[in-house]
Amino acid sequence: MKTRTATDSPVPSIHVESGSSAGMEAVTAHNSLHATPPCDGNLELILRELLAIRAGMVDESAVSEARLSRIHPNYRASAANLLHYLTLRQRDLRPLQLRLAEMGLSSLGRAESHVLTTLDAVLQVLHSLAQRPYQVPPSEETVPDFATGQRLLDEHTDTLLGPQPLRRGTRIMVTMPSEAANDYMLVHDLLQQGMDCMRINCAHDDVPAWLRLIEHMKRAKKVLGRSCKILMDLAGPKLRTGPLERGPEVVRIHPCRDSYGRVIAHARVWLTPATAPQSPPAPAQACLPVTAPWFARLRPGEEVHLTDARQAKRSLTIVDVTEQGCWAEATKTTYIIPGTVLSRHSMTTDRSTRDGIVGKLPPGENPIVLRQGDVLILQRDIRPGRAATCDSAGQVLTPASIGCTIPEVFDDVRSGESIWFDDGKIGGVVDKIEPHRAFIRITHTRAGGDRLRSNKGINLPESNLRLAALTPVDLENLAFVAEHADIVGLSFANSAQDVASLQQHLASHGHQQPAIVLKIETRRGFENLPEMLLTAMRWPSCGVMIARGDLAVECGFERLAEVQEEILWISEAAHVPVIWATQVLETLAKKGMPSRAEITDAAMGQRAECVMLNKGPHILNAIRVLDDILRRMQAHKAKGRALLRELRVAQALPVESCSQPNNSESESNSPLTLIKEPSQ
């Protein structure tokens, strides 16, 4: 009996599918070299090593039989292939790959989706070269062949992310901005432009806003006749800095100036009654609550005079008045504090109509400035943090301090471990741990220092944090998510237990089984990815998101490229679709013009099954550009394999002639006539 494939067809002496690079190399070597002399010592060593690898794969499958029995039927063959791939990658294969390549055989470099079949194809050719028969060892295990591996990945991608869009194999996911909940046409336009999956971040907004987004999507799908999946990301545990001491209540108003200091745009100020303050209908530099009787007397064109916090004489010009508030403009920089008197030109002696008083203003920020070598005290509670205090000579008396939102992490942090703040902008090392605080020595900032503010992320990549991926808030939201989402994103997935816990809670919410996406954004999550995948594959549909923001901080920016490659390989071996996320075309989406590096990054994303864009005012253009990039790149690359489509530039070399051609020959041999447009 021979090893069965996922198509239940027996493997012949050489079983390959058309289009498989490994299989075609094997056939070529077999047809041209099978009559070579008996194997030499080098060939014997290669055979011995490959047979040992194959035996290890079979042994691993036998040991993991109980684990494989719990896999969902959709993923049985995929799970077996993943175990084979993990066995293959447990050793350094580079010397073996070089020897195989020298013989014109597959170097196993593209075996991810069909590991055992690729290995057997190479073994059959090598045995033919050695003039020895090779019988595929008997096994009851179902393994994917060359065509089946790609088919399984395609099927799992269609199930998770919906049908493949026209002329583009990679899907596009877009994170919804908050304003889309009240703007149907934005959702409509995003879908029309090419969005294939809508992402709702449950860390923002609330259930009513999420429901409006979903209703907008249902309406847009019906109008446009397009499909679009809905992914809802659970917030997960957010380890962030606590609040800071309040800064002064002062508002700085300043006009926009050109390089010569000339005013090119006045500062816009919104005045509103203090008794019933209203938000401005458009962006404003400042919102000033003022006394209501005085506000009621304001008229367009009036000049309002004041003395600001610096005792500078300033004025505001009223340009528009509404019932909710009025607009004023300033041409000079002005600092306003509560109690500032605003005076109208009036003949009346009634101060309530002549003078207005600025009411309470929001406190300003009071960030902590940190430089290399500074000490920061991380508090177990969330008492307001404060900057360092110094003596008259500039020596630190009390180091800066700040709290953290999840005090339980103190139980898992050890001295000598690294810590990062604000997406890796500020780095340090834990010098000392006390019951209620930790002393951090700052090791990484910009040359002039960096400001640390409240509600900024904290990463502890070397600490074994025992934080569950599902928080009480996530569990509260899960009933809504299970009912309305096609896909549930598990943020900060770190262990197989995290995945199993989500599956158990989803099962308790009825028969609906939304797909699960593992967001890999920590070092532990990356290291435990194989085990988490095998747990996720107990579910009918699953995927992986490479959340590159936190992942870069956790693993080190210099390692991010390597880590995301490994995630792509492992996920392909499991036939699990991947979402390429974080900062894709971010400058384009936010500012309207991409950087060169962003274009290259977006092109690299084509190797994943989906690319995610974040919100921004230019998001529609970002979708258009990404769609164009992905369509172009799929003609050149499929996963890590180059596709050799026709290159028109390769036809441009003119034919060289020994004699001077006549006019007709010159025309026919011109590079321009050799370049032909492909037929439509």
- Which pLDDT tens digit goes with each residue over 128-177? 999 999 888 776 567 898 999 999 999 999 999 999 998 899 999 999 99
CA 395 to each of CA 390, 438, 452: distance values in angstroms, whole numbers, following the listed order: 5, 21, 20
For residue 320, the Cα-to-chain-centroid distance in whole angstroms is: 44
Q: Kindly report which listed range (125-129, 136-140, 334-338) carries the lowest average pLDDT score.
A: 136-140
Query: What is the Cα–Cα distance from 309 to 337, expressed in whole angstroms?
Result: 6
pLDDT in tens, 520-557: 999 999 999 999 999 999 999 999 999 999 999 999 99
pLDDT in tens, 461-502: 999 999 999 999 999 999 999 999 999 999 999 999 999 999
Instruction: Read off the tokens for 218.
Output: 């249902």
CB burial string 428-456: b at 16+ within 10 A, e below: bbbeebeeebbbbebebbeeeebebbbeb
- Tell me what pLDDT residue 139 has: 65
- pLDDT confidence bin for 646, thresholds 50/70/90: low
Neighbours of 152 (CB within 10 A): 22
Return the bridge partners of 314, or none.
Answer: 306
Q: Considering the chain, what percentage of its residues have pLDDT values greater than 90?
A: 73
* Beta-sheet pairing, 171-175 with 142-143: unpaired
Domains of the chain: which residue ranges? Answer: 4-158, 163-236+477-641, 251-357, 368-385+399-457, 646-680
Do 583 and 564 touch, CB atoms closer than 8 A?
no
Do 608 and 168 touch, CB atoms closer than 8 A?
no
Query: What is the Cα–Cα distance from 572 to 89, expressed in whole angstroms?
Result: 14
pLDDT at residue 18 tops 80: no
pLDDT at residue 429 tops 60: yes
Instruction: Read off the tokens for 455.
Output: 């509600």
Nearest CA among 38, 33, 51 for reference residue 103: 33
Do 251-357 and 368-385+399-457 agree at the fold level? yes
pLDDT at residue 19 tops 50: no
Do 519 and 233 touch, CB atoms closer than 8 A?
yes
For residue 123, the Cα-to-chain-centroid distance in whole angstroms is: 40
Mean pLDDT, rounded, of the chain: 87
Instruction: Read off the tokens for 188.
Output: 């409509």
- Tell me what pLDDT residue 233 has: 97
251-357 CATH:
2.40.33
- End-to-end CA, the chain: 49
**Residue 374, Ramachandran bin (φ over 0: left; ψ between -120 and 50: alpha; else beta):** beta
For residue 416, the Cα-to-chain-centroid distance in whole angstroms is: 29
3-state secondary structure of 42: helix
CA 483 to each of CA 33, 229, 267, 510, 680: distance values in angstroms, whole numbers, following the listed order: 60, 14, 47, 9, 45
Query: What is the Cα–Cα distance from 342 to 354, expressed in whole angstroms?
Result: 8
pLDDT in tens, 247-300: 899 999 999 999 899 999 999 999 999 999 998 998 899 999 999 999 999 999
Q: Helices then strands (H, E): number in the chain?
A: 22, 33
Query: What is the Cα–Cα distance from 389 to 396, expressed in whole angstroms?
Result: 6
Backbone angles phi, psi at 397, to 5 degrees: -90, -50
Do 196 and 217 touch, CB atoms closer than 8 A?
no
Do 136 and 11 touch, CB atoms closer than 8 A?
yes
Q: Which CATH number fits domain 163-236+477-641: 3.30.43.10, 3.20.20.60, 3.10.310.70, 3.40.50.1000?
A: 3.20.20.60
- Tell me what pLDDT residue 186 has: 96
As a dihedral over the C-alpha atoms of residue 327, residue 333, residue 339, residue 342, rounded to 10 degrees, the angle is -50
Identify residue 391 by its one-letter amino acid code: D
Per-residue HEC secondary structure of 121-149 comes to HHHHHHHHHCCCCCCCCCCCCEECCHHHH
* Beta-sheet pairing, 487-490 with 341-344: unpaired
Section 194-210 average pLDDT: 96
Query: What is the Cα–Cα distance from 543 to 559, expressed in whole angstroms?
Result: 23
- pLDDT confidence bin for 20, thresholds 50/70/90: very low
Query: What is the Cα–Cα distance from 222 to 200, expressed in whole angstroms?
Result: 20
pLDDT at residue 507 tops 80: yes
Q: Which residues contact 637 (CB under 8 A, 6 or more apart)?
A: 606, 607, 643
Block residue for tokens 């060892």: 137
Do 338 and 359 touch, CB atoms closer than 8 A?
yes
pLDDT at residue 21 tops 50: no
* Helical ranges in 605-656 per DSSP H: 619-633
CB burial string 345-361: b at 16+ within 10 A, e below: eeeeeeeeebbbbbbeb
pLDDT in tens, 350-364: 666 789 999 999 888
- Tell me what pLDDT residue 112 has: 93
Query: What is the Cα–Cα distance from 141 to 138, expressed in whole angstroms?
Result: 9
CATH 2.40.33.10 given to domain 368-385+399-457: yes
pLDDT in tens, 584-636: 999 999 999 999 999 999 999 999 999 999 999 999 999 999 999 999 998 88
CB burial string 392-417: b at 16+ within 10 A, e below: eeeeeeebbbbbbbbeebbeebeeeb
Block residue for tokens 């029309």: 192
pTM for the model = 0.81
CA 331 to each of CA 269, 287, 366, 606: distance values in angstroms, whole numbers, following the listed order: 11, 17, 27, 50
Measured in residues, the chain has a length of: 680
Section 25-46 average pLDDT: 58
3-state secondary structure of 677: coil
